[in-house]
Amino acid sequence: MSLHSDIMNLAVSDKVRAELEGAPKGFYLLGHRDARHGAAELAQQADAELTRLRAENDDLRGGIHAARTALALVQAECERLRVALKLIHGQDEGNYAHDIAEARAIARCALTGAAT
């Protein structure tokens, strides 16, 4: 059952049914009905908001996964470039530090979508 259904099925207590008579009982029952309907409507709105938030969360998780995948690809490409530059320039990192910085800048631009 949903929270909405649970609220709509809340019964008036036996004590109230036994002790109240006439108009006061009618007014109480009317108030009870109105309160049930109001609470059930709030429960429906809360359920709808939870559904919306779950969908938004799923979208955000998908975006995070895509970003992590792209980052892994960029890191792999940076490592490939580092190895290639090492082969081109020899073992001295000083010879290719500028090339590595440029490759990193290109990778950052690829991640952010900015122009180089």
Per-residue pLDDT at 93 = 57
The pLDDT > 70 percentage for the chain reads: 86
Q: What is the pTM of this model?
A: 0.54
Number of domains in the chain: 1
End-to-end C-alpha distance for the chain, whole angstroms = 57
Q: How far is CA 89 from the centre of its chain?
A: 47
Per-residue pLDDT at 4 = 83
pLDDT in tens, 72-116: 998 888 888 878 777 776 665 555 667 677 777 777 777 776 554
| Burial (0-12, 13-18, 19+ Cβ within 10 Å), 96 | buried
Contact between 100 and 82 under an 8 Å Cβ cutoff? The reply is yes
Contact between 86 and 96 under an 8 Å Cβ cutoff? The reply is yes
Percentages helix, strand, coil for the chain, rounded to the nearest 5?
85, 0, 15
pLDDT in tens, 51-71: 999 999 999 999 999 999 999
Q: How far is CA 13 from the centre of its chain?
A: 41
Per-residue pLDDT at 116 = 46
**Measured distance CA(59)–CA(71) in Å, rounded:** 18
Between these two residues, 20 and 115, which has the higher pLDDT value? 20
Q: Which domain holds residue 30?
A: 3-112
